Structure 1
Amino acid sequence: MTASTTQQIILTGDRPTGPLHLGHFVGSLRNRVAYQHDYRQYIMLADAQALTDNMEDTGKVHRNVVEVALDYLAVGIDPAKSTIFIQSQVPELAELTFYYLNLVTVARLERNPTVKEEIRLRGFERDIPAGFLTYPASQAADITAFKAHVVPVGEDQIPMIEQANEIVRRFNRLAGRDILVECKALVPEIGRLPGTDGKAKMSKSLGNTINLGASEAEIRAAVKMVYTDPLHLRVEDPGHLEGNVAFLYLDAFDPDKAALAEMKAHYVRGGLGDSVVKKRLDLVLQELLAPIRARREEFAKDRGQVMQMLKEGTMVARETAAKTLDEVRAALGLSYF
């Protein structure tokens, strides 16, 4: 641990709308396990944000708070090193969001590329929940409350970080001094994984995921359905790697890069069947997920203890956020007593 990183604060998290899957693992979870040794890390269960498009099924969000926490623990997140907390139980975040909404226009929110794309994917058109549209202000509150220097995100989330920093700069100008901290986006080397069906995004709603807690049989069944090369009709035919989900997953998870490179070359020149590729993928994923599944099952035996961990982490998060909120109130002339 170097002196330059020990004081850095990192904020990351997930919306608890279902169990976490391989897409979360490759894009963020295994990085978070590494980050917790070099950063002061806050991990947020964004249940309040999840409600912006789940108000018709709030029970799903409530149920999955513990499920996602179990996934965190199973992959190796250590509550002694990372502060795991529940967003809705830190009311300071909502108050900060309220103030930040006065620092951004509706037009600017609507121009945010990430928001525009998410609105398109959900088919909201003009029937956009206000909470969903104002998500950039909410995310700015989540980040600035902890004065995070670094926020790990996918490339598609970079506009959200840029807008959060716009809010920080405008607030600091109004305050006449630097109270809030600008943050830097940390984009992982391996980005978003496609779904098992070849769709651009692995998504619970599309049913194209492999969950971290999946059983051996569930993994095997999912691998059989993994999209490969539709033009690879005979074993002797040359195969294509581009868009081939089986090889994309192997690139992400197979530790034997030399053997994988040899398999790719064989596939491209022909003479290697998809069944052989999928057999290797199944072995790799079974080996990867077996210990995660075992740890998850062990932690799940005492869900009360998991909730206690979340309670303690949330208390720590509230204490930190309250200090920032006090500074913000004072700068806005809202400290009276």
Structure 2
Amino acid sequence: MNSQSPQTVLSGLRPTGRVHLGNYFGAVRNWVRLQEKYRCLYFVADWHALTSDYADPSKIRQATFDAVADWIAAGLDPKRSTIFLQSEVKEHAELHLLLSMITPIPWLERVPSFKDQQQELKDRDLNTFGFLGYPLLQTADVIIYRAHFVPVGEDQASHLELSREIVRRFNNFYGNVFPEPQPLFTETPKVPGLDGRKMSKSYGNTIPLTASADEIRALVMTMFTDPNRIRRQDPGNPDICNLFQFHKLFSDDATIARVDRECRTAQIGCVDDKKLLAEIMVENLRQIRARREEIDRDPSIVWDALREGNRIARQHASETLELVRKAMKIDFPELR
């Protein structure tokens, strides 16, 4: 790649179905912005989903469609970003295997996400080779495209360090094949769930990005508010109120300032504030919702985007694997 070519950004999400607001503000919104400047590849990590959902993979197909449909509805442009399905690019699996030959097991066991997932999904049997190798597959996902950057939040940078260590080890053994992927720090505002915990489908506290207007209104009415505000006439504290966190995401500065002031002086009650917030969210998400409805009427928008994205991704991945095989002395041109 010459110095005039755009640098490569890669990121992916597991197919968990409809994108929720935590996914959107934590990843997808940044993806849309990054496609203006970089060569971007975004993928549905269906193999990663199998590391914890291997017992019942029946939902992956529909979840894949829903994820990509929401990505496109949110502004990802298949003509500007390569959108693909991990399992359709078999080179990921081959590179994962080759990297496993050089990666010490303790490196995998110490990854923070390994321990976090074990704790969060303790109702499932995660004592599998696939789950242990999850971070190694993540590394293969990134470096198979020789990506320069991986978008991360400030608290996620440590997860990328393993990939960088593996790249250094590989390059030390076989020559300078891979660039070390760098973290691309992006704005990732905190998005609480309806109950104040982190927004997560496992907690059942999400708001879908493409929820209908009525869905949004109903869900906002269930939001937890300032637990110390018992009566309507009691002053509230926006700093510990879920509603105010969502105002920061959706409302303009004047509205944020007014809600802050009126909450602290009990001029606005929680129910009225919920109604106000719901209408602001409905309006803010209107275009995304309309685009998703258009995609639902024509599902080929998703499948065509994935088909072309898979083709482009395979081409790039195949070129990288040729370099890897040659560096590792396991290429046999005589057999071709």
Bin of the TM-score, shorter chain as denominator length: over 0.9
The whole-number CA distance in structure 1 between the counterparts of 2:282 and 2:207 is 11
Offset, 1:242? 3.3
User: Which residue does 1:100 correspond to in 2?
Assistant: 99
Deviation string, structure 1 residues 152-189 (Cα, Å, up to 9, x no partner): 1234432221100111111111113x210112222332
The whole-number CA distance in structure 2 between the counterparts of 1:6 and 1:210 is 38
**Native 8 Å contact 2:235 2:265 kept in 1:** yes
Offset, 1:243? 3.6
User: Which residue does 1:150 correspond to in 2?
Assistant: 149
User: Which residue does 2:60 correspond to in 1?
Assistant: 61
**Native 8 Å contact 1:83 1:316 kept in 2:** yes
Offset, 1:58? 0.9
**Native 8 Å contact 1:5 1:39 kept in 2:** no
1:194 to 170, 192, 195: 192
The whole-number CA distance in structure 1 between the counterparts of 2:62 and 2:99 is 30
Deviation string, structure 1 residues 275-318 (Cα, Å, up to 9, x no partner): 22212210121012222111111112121342122111101001
Amino acid corresponding to residue 147 of structure 2 in structure 1: A
**Native 8 Å contact 1:154 1:191 kept in 2:** no
Offset, 1:6? 5.4
Across the aligned residues of Structure 1 and Structure 2, the Cα RMSD in angstroms comes to: 1.9
Offset, 1:124? 6.2
User: Which residue does 2:314 correspond to in 1?
Assistant: 318
User: Which residue does 2:136 correspond to in 1?
Assistant: 137
1:233 to 230, 234, 253: 230
Single out whichever of 105-114 and 19-28 deviates more from structure 2. 105-114
Matches within 5 A, 1:41-190: 41-123=40-122, 127-176=126-175, 178-190=176-188
1:258 to 254, 270, 274: 254
The whole-number CA distance in structure 1 between the counterparts of 2:5 and 2:231 is 55
SS in 2 for 1:11: strand
SS in 1 for 2:56: helix
The whole-number CA distance in structure 2 between the counterparts of 1:250 and 1:4 is 42
Normalised by the length of structure 1, the TM-score is 0.93
Amino acid corresponding to residue 273 of structure 2 in structure 1: V
Unaligned runs of 5+ in 2: none
Single out whichever of 25-34 and 41-50 deviates more from structure 2. 25-34
Unaligned runs of 5+ in 1: none
Offset, 1:190? 3.0
Instruction: Say whether 1:270 aligns with 2:259.
Output: no
The whole-number CA distance in structure 2 between the counterparts of 1:63 and 1:261 is 41
The whole-number CA distance in structure 2 between the counterparts of 1:125 and 1:276 is 42
**Native 8 Å contact 1:153 1:186 kept in 2:** yes
Amino acid corresponding to residue 226 of structure 2 in structure 1: D
Instruction: Say whether 1:334 aligns with 2:330.
Output: yes
The whole-number CA distance in structure 1 between the counterparts of 2:189 and 2:145 is 25
Deviation string, structure 1 residues 93-119 (Cα, Å, up to 9, x no partner): 011111112232222211111211111
User: Which residue does 2:302 correspond to in 1?
Assistant: 306
The whole-number CA distance in structure 2 between the counterparts of 1:267 and 1:305 is 45
Distance of aligned partners of 1:147 and 1:247 in 2 relative to their CA distance in 1, 3 Å threshold = same
User: Which residue does 2:280 correspond to in 1?
Assistant: 284
Distance of aligned partners of 1:127 and 1:263 in 2 relative to their CA distance in 1, 3 Å threshold = closer
The whole-number CA distance in structure 2 between the counterparts of 1:145 and 1:205 is 31
Distance of aligned partners of 1:326 and 1:310 in 2 relative to their CA distance in 1, 3 Å threshold = same
The whole-number CA distance in structure 2 between the counterparts of 1:188 and 1:266 is 32
The whole-number CA distance in structure 1 between the counterparts of 2:184 and 2:231 is 42
Amino acid corresponding to residue 201 of structure 2 in structure 1: K
SS in 1 for 2:76: coil
2:290 to 294, 299, 324: 294
SS in 2 for 1:103: coil
The whole-number CA distance in structure 2 between the counterparts of 1:5 and 1:186 is 20
User: Which residue does 1:205 correspond to in 2?
Assistant: 202
Offset, 1:74? 0.6
Distance of aligned partners of 1:318 and 1:198 in 2 relative to their CA distance in 1, 3 Å threshold = same
**Native 8 Å contact 1:5 1:38 kept in 2:** no
Number of equivalences: 332
Offset, 1:148? 1.2
Distance of aligned partners of 1:295 and 1:126 in 2 relative to their CA distance in 1, 3 Å threshold = closer
**Native 8 Å contact 1:224 1:278 kept in 2:** yes
**Native 8 Å contact 2:52 2:124 kept in 1:** no
The whole-number CA distance in structure 1 between the counterparts of 2:180 and 2:215 is 43
The whole-number CA distance in structure 2 between the counterparts of 1:314 and 1:21 is 25
